[in-house]
């Protein structure tokens, strides 16, 4: 899979975390991959699955730190007030900015904006860009 496809898959799993208890996420991840296997013409390889699962687990483990950073930078917005898709996208990008030295900040932001345009509301791209731009400073 391309990095952008992996990032999109991780986003989809993080979005599920908004509706499930963190303790349920291993089961939810398994269900997600089972569904993807049946629906997708190009199934996800075992190596990509393992990478995606590890990435999801790393982000969920850092969620308190990520959310604290988002709360600090998103002046006038609370995490509870943000759209669930936007929040999952922002969390993924903030993880990449704060904890993944292999991904340039500009790439994390650009990819997040593209995901927001695809999965969010009409104004999501601008909102996500605005929040993440504060991390680039």
Split at pLDDT 50, 70, 90, the class of 22 is confident
Residue 52 is encoded by which pair of tokens?
Answer: 């995606």
Contacts of 45 (CB under 8 A, 6+ apart): 1
pLDDT in tens, 37-93: 767 667 788 899 999 999 999 999 999 999 999 999 998 999 999 999 999 999 999
This prediction has a pTM of 0.92
Q: Mean pLDDT across the stretch 95-110?
A: 96
Per the structure, the complete domain to which residue 14 belongs is given by 3-136
Residue 124's CATH number: 1.10.940.10
Report how far apart the first and last C-alpha atoms of the chain are (Å, whole number). 31
Domain count, the chain: 1
């Amino acid at each position: 899979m391309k990095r952008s496809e992996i990032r999109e898959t991780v986003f989809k799993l993080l979005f599920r975390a908004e509706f499930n208890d963190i303790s349920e996420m291993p089961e939810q991840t398994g269900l997600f991959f089972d569904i993807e296997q049946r629906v997708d013409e190009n199934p996800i390889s075992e190596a990509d699955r393992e990478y995606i699962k590890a990435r999801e687990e790393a982000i969920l483990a850092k969620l308190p730190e990520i959310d604290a950073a988002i709360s600090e930078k998103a002046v006038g917005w609370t995490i509870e007030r943000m759209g669930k898709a936007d929040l999952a996208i922002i969390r993924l990008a903030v993880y990449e900015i704060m904890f993944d030295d292999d991904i340039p900040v500009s790439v994390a932001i650009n990819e997040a904006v593209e995901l927001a345009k695809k999965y969010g509301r009409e104004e999501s791209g601008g909102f996500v860009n605005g929040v993440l731009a504060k991390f680039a400073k």
